[in-house]
Structure 1
């Protein structure tokens, strides 16, 4: 059952890849453990989750919408915006680059940065720990061959607690044929933040 408004988000460790110029060479990246508390404690953040990097709706509309409205959402009282998917850190970085997201040149200046993008930060939930903890795990095996992924949703998290959550279709559907995208978009989030 999905978590609801007022619940605390799951405390997990994200296995991230971040730039470390001291390594040198063509692959100057190292592993960094980033905890949910690093991202959400004492802050107000937006997290939106989607079924997969490189997938059509996620790539054409979902992530681009939040990139486009990044400054407006932050101006509405949000400290940062995170995009979460059940993909590993390598896939998330390549997807961000393919999407034209601007990469950080250094990571050392931001010790809590879970990735290397200046606007929306891409969170790799490769082991599905956060997604399961949210009660948002779903399986697309016969339908798309995805396996276990996240249902599409967005939320505002204030100091580790869910302030507002938008779940597509109102409920999770296992092996869903449709992939609804009506309420977790950036426009809906911005409207909530600016009319609250």
Structure 2
């Protein structure tokens, strides 16, 4: 659906660890752009409704984290997890999940998600505006393959999961690489 789409250029307001800062919160603000994350790399980007939510924390994020070496073997340089959460929440979630491979991208103001056409209301769950669940293979800032959960709608009664799973994306990469090699 979005294959061939160039990702929108936005600025993400992130907090990064800085060991020169003393005290219990050794982080500083660092703005990063879409180009900072995606230029010159082939990555998997997956977006989800929220940090610390059940499907995201139990299946999707751990699956990408644990499968990083398999993705890397299929030509993926980085795996990014994006959510409409601020950097404080995303960093704490990454710490809670023990992430070593997947990098989190905070889209606190939902600018990227809105420009991707993936912003939905989840007021029925008390979440407010959030991202619809999807994954993409992105090559140098352009969508190569798109994996969107069915039913994109405001206040959807369910949280579909499967199309954007790490297993689905990895299978696609394996088949595409096997076809290219043949």
> Structure 1 length as normaliser, TM-score?
0.87
What pairs with 1:135-174 in structure 2 (closer than 5 Å)?
135-141=117-123, 143-169=124-150, 171-174=151-154
Cα distance in 2 between the residues matched to 1:183 and 1:30: 36
**Partner of residue 180 from structure 1, selected from 137, 153, 160:** 160
Higher helix share: 2
Q: What stretches of structure 1 of length at least 5 have no aligned partner?
A: 102-117
Indicate yes or no: 2:58 matched with 1:45. Answer: no
**Partner of residue 11 from structure 1, selected from 9, 24, 44:** 9
**Partner of residue 70 from structure 1, selected from 68, 83, 92:** 68
Cα distance in 1 between the residues matched to 2:102 and 2:133: 17
Residue 88 (structure 1) aligns with: 86
> Structure 2 length as normaliser, TM-score?
0.94
C-alpha displacement of 1:64: 0.6
Aligned residues: 176
- Over 6 Å off, 4+ runs: none
**Partner of residue 25 from structure 2, selected from 24, 27, 34:** 27
C-alpha displacement of 1:100: 2.3
